[in-house]
Amino acid sequence: MAEQASKKRILILLSAYNGEKYIGEQLDSLFALGGDFEFTIRVRDDGSSDSTPAILAAYGRERGVEVINGENVGFNASFFALMEGAEETYDYYALCDQDDVWLPGKFERAVPMLEKENAAQPLLYSGVLCLTGEDLSGKRTLPYPQRGPSFYNAMIQDICSGHTMVFNGALLRLLKGSYREGLMNYDHWIYLAASAFGKVIYDSEPQVLYRQHGENAVGAQDGFFKKTARRLRYLKQARGGAMARQLAAFYEAFGGSLREEYRQEISDFLAAGKNFCSRIKYACKSRAVRQSGAETLLFRLLYVFGKFKA
């Protein structure tokens, strides 16, 4: 009689900060996940000052949630602390925000897609977003990215939201020790690493309800006018510069291991930012792309005018 295959073991990593309003609903949705999996929920509290620690303590006592009480370091460093401390004995790892709701079939959807790939390479599962209102009403699924995931897209755009991510041990090992001060967003960093060294699997069906309530650490917007307003804010806040600094940090962390074409592209991107003529030259030949032609053109124009200097 053939031996029964063991259940896949998954470690869910959640960083919490003053999340008393929604975190219970999020945790309840994790316990309602379907599928034949063994999963552990580990939460790091990032120095909350509300009732979040008490809520987590109750879930620890009653539901076995593992709780780490930490000092406030911000969501990027907090998620990396969780990944640094993650044992490499699990089959897969999933990142979780404190204010969303996971749909029951998330792992049943993600794991088979990951299992089809070569586990020796870093693998990242992500997917489209389903935006909802504060009360989870008014669901709107954002469209599948026109170009799909790629390293050249990851250079200047993040299409992989952290709360959608499920990844394998090879990607976890790659990420450990890679945290840098210039890192802008932990999920963008993970997208960069997975697309540079492995494979990104992008799902066209949402598996998380992404609650929009005005207090999200990082929100999502759709529609022409909202996107335009967001780009203008990025311009005003020098977000292009932050993205360039993240690329410089990524080059510092991984430059010696990158494929030559990727290493050269980042090097050219950073070096050309120093003067106007070199920026024009780079913009004309740049392989960095956003998900639409109009957005790519906008990036090149902003780059030429020095908005992507590290």
**Contact call for residues 192 and 151 (beta carbons, < 8 A):** yes
Phi, psi at residue 10, to the nearest 5°? Answer: -130, 135
pLDDT digits (tens, 9 = 90+) for 39-95: 999 999 999 999 999 999 999 999 999 999 999 999 999 999 999 999 999 999 999
pLDDT digits (tens, 9 = 90+) for 249-280: 999 999 999 999 999 999 999 999 889 999 99
User: Residue 18: left if φ>0, alpha if ψ -120 to 50, beta else—which one?
Assistant: left
DSSP 92: E
Sign of the dihedral defined by the CA atoms of residues 147, 150, 155, 157, in that order? positive
pLDDT digits (tens, 9 = 90+) for 212-221: 865 544 445 4
Question: Which pLDDT belongs to residue 1?
Answer: 37
DSSP 264: H
